[in-house]
Every structure is written in structure tokens, then in C-alpha cells.
């Protein structure tokens, strides 16, 4: 951890998007790579004043940083050899953060950066994903099982039928969503009550919980590439699955705090845009080009108050983080977010 704590000066660069002429701010310099963590993990301060992210600015190994979104200053948080960038997550009280370094799961206070190991994956087992429950426990996949780490121990809570590819705790509910080759399922945090979700037949793309935890939002990908990808919503309480809207071939999607507006990244080469989708009108609004070499990297998300959209792209060189303010188009959800 000798190099953790280093500061980097502001790298902000504002420009007018070529397609819409709306202002976009590039937050990190594209001469090196930077990116965000998995979209379901906590990465923003509640007031959208900080962002937890990764970068190789001091290379070659990627490290965790916290960006002050007001001053533009970045604070290096780790100095480790094998950071899993998609495992970076703030704790609920924002006093510490979690990450995997190789086989080891660490927790580190933000004020001291004295990391402690919480769990080590057994030799020969493949670990993937990370999700943080409301009680502070941490869940992730080890091959065909889900492990839950509490303050005192780590134990297998669920043995799946096949390799687990994704895990995400259901907000405000003691359940975890997980994906296998058979599809998406949910189970209680202790492994009980597992059930396969009866989603629309066909291929299920990205799936994310609404921030309330009441419904699951997912992209349905048709077998015929000429047909449009649709955004759908599954309600576990009623067991209903409903169409929200067709999309401009969204590769990824995220909702604001009250799931009234969605932001997506199009996989279309001809329309490589970041777009807003309004639930009530089922209409899209183009925010900007993303022009990423791989649309899977874009992963746009709303800030906690829904007044900004953040995404990543390598359009100007290497992968960098971008921000667009959208208060002209989306109402603030600050009060709803505080309730959540």
C-alpha cells in the first residue's frame, strides 16, 4: 500500500457532442485507461460528490481511485497486483470500500486505507461477481455456488445447477438474483426459497433491479437480429412480466431512483448513442454519441439524484469516464433516493 494515497490533479475536459451539441464532460484523461465498477454496486457518494472508480494512470496494474466530482482531484486507494475492477463497492455508510485482489476479498477504510482480508477463495475455484447486502454481508460466486461473507465468517449458502455467472442482491429485500445457463433465478440470502424467474421466452440480456427492489428490469433480445431489443419489467410480488418499451437496440440499461426514466447504450453501429427512455411516453431522447469500440463497455448509469448520467468510452483514445448533466430532461429524485 506504499503508493496508495497519491493525488492526481483535475483532468476534466468539456466539449459539445457532435450529434446533439449538448455538453459532455470527460472526467479522466484518455492517455491511460479508466472505468467504473459493476453498475449494481454502490460507487457514488450520496450527494454525487465522489465517484469510486479504477484506473491504470500509474500503470501497469489497475488501481482503485476516488474522484472528487467538484474539484476533479483523484485519490489513489489501492496498491495491489490483481485488482478486480468490477468488484469495487462502497459500504452503505460510505466509510469503507470492498474489492477483490486476486483470490482475496478486502475491506479498506477510506480514511486510513488499512485494508484487511475478509475472505480468500479456495485454490482451484473460480470466483466471479460481488454484491453487497443491506446487512453488510458480501455475496459472490465460486463456480457453481454462492458464498456469503459476514463479519465473522464465509460460507456457501447456495449450490446451483451449473456455473453461476452473475449475482446481485435485491435492494430492500433479503434476496439475491443469480444467473446460470438455465436463466435468472432468485433465492433468499440464506439459500432457501430459490426459484427460477418466469421471464419472457428467449434470450435475456442485462438485468438490473429497480432501485426500490420492487421489480426487475431486463432487456429481452430477439433471435432475429432485425427485430428490436425490448425493455421489460418483472414483478416478483404478482408474478407478472410486462413490456415497458422497444429500444434502439440497447446493450445495457439503468433506471433512475423511481424507475420513471431509463438510460441505455445502443449497440447499433449506425446509432452508437447514449439515450434516455421515458416510461410514460415510451419515447427516446438522444443524449450524445458514445462511439465505443465495444458497446458493452459503455454501461451508463444515473447519479443518485438522477441529475447526471455517467458512462465510459474509448472514443478519444483509451477508455475514459464521461458525465452528462440531464437536469433539463429528468426531475431530481434526491428525496426518493434518501428514502431508499
pLDDT digits (tens, 9 = 90+) for 66-92: 999 999 999 999 999 999 999 999 999
What the block records as the C-alpha cell of 4 is: 496508495
In a domain, 218, yes or no: yes
Query: 177 lies in a domain?
Result: no
**The CATH number of the domain where 207 resides is what?**
2.130.10.10
Q: What is the pLDDT of residue 320?
A: 98
- φ, ψ (nearest 5 deg) of residue 270: -75, -25
Q: What residue ranges of the chain have pLDDT lower than 70?
A: 1-2, 335-340
Q: Which domain holds residue 259?
A: 202-340
Task: Tell me if 93 is assigned to some domain.
Answer: no
Local structure of 238: helix, strand or coil: coil
**What phi and psi values does residue 106 have, to the nearest 5 degrees?**
-120, 150
Please report whether residue 311 resides in a domain.
Answer: yes
Flag whether 212 is in a domain.
yes
Question: What is the number of domains present in the chain?
Answer: 1
Buried (b) or exposed (e) across 162-193, using 16+ Cβ within 10 A? eebebbbbbbebebbbbbbeeebbbbebebee
Residue 277 within any structural domain of the chain: yes
What span, in angstroms and rounded, lies between the C-alpha atoms of 221 and 223? 7
**pLDDT (0 to 100) of residue 275:** 98
Residue 195 lies in a domain: no
Q: Is 261 within the bounds of a domain?
A: yes
- Return the SS3 of 253: strand
Amino acid at each position: 500500500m506504499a503508493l496508495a494515497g497519491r493525488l492526481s490533479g483535475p483532468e476534466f475536459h468539456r466539449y459539445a457532442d457532435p450529434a446533439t451539441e449538448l455538453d459532455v464532460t470527460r472526467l479522466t484523461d484518455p492517455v491511460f485507461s479508466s472505468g467504473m465498477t459493476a453498475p449494481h454496486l454502490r460507487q457514488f457518494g450520496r450527494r454525487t460528490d465522489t465517484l469510486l472508480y479504477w484506473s491504470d494512470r500509474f500503470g501497469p496494474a489497475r488501481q482503485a481511485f476516488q474522484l472528487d466530482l467538484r474539484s476533479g482531484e483523484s485519490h489513489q486507494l489501492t496498491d495491489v497486483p490483481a485488482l478486480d475492477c468490477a468488484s469495487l463497492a462502497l459500504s452503505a455508510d460510505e466509510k469503507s470500500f470492498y474489492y477483490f485482489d486476486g483470490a482475496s476479498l478486502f475491506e479498506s477504510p477510506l480514511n486510513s486505507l488499512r485494508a484487511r482480508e475478509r475472505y480468500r477463495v479456495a485454490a482451484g475455484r473460480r470466483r466471479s461477481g460481488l454484491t453487497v447486502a443491506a446487512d453488510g454481508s458480501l455475496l459472490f460466486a465460486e463456480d457453481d455456488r454462492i458464498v456469503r461473507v459476514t463479519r465473522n465468517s464465509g460460507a456457501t449458502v447456495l449450490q446451483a445447477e451449473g456455473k453461476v455467472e452473475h449475482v446481485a442482491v435485491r435492494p430492500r429485500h433479503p434476496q439475491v438474483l443469480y444467473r446460470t445457463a438455465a436463466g435468472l433465478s432468485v433465492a433468499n440470502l440464506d439459500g432457501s426459497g430459490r426459484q427460477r424467474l418466469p421471464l419472457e421466452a428467449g434470450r435475456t440480456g442485462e438485468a438490473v433491479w429497480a432501485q426500490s427492489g420492487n421489480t426487475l428490469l431486463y432487456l429481452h433480445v430477439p433471435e432475429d437480429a432485425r427485430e428490436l431489443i425490448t425493455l421489460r419489467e418483472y414483478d416478483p410480488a404478482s408474478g407478472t412480466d410486462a413490456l415497458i418499451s422497444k429500444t434502439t437496440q440497447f446493450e445495457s440499461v439503468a433506471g433512475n431512483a423511481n424507475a420513471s426514466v431509463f438510460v441505455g447504450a445502443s449497440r447499433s453501429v449506425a446509432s452508437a448513442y447514449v439515450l434516455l427512455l421515458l416510461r410514460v411516453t415510451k419515447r427516446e431522447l438522444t443524449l450524445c454519441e458514445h462511439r465505443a469500440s465495444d458497446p458493452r463497455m459503455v454501461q451508463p448509469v444515473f447519479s443518485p439524484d438522477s441529475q447526471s448520467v455517467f458512462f465510459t468510452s474509448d472514443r478519444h483514445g483509451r477508455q475514459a469516464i464521461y458525465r452528462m448533466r440531464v437536469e433539463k430532461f429528468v426531475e431530481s429524485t434526491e428525496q426518493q433516493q434518501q428514502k431508499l
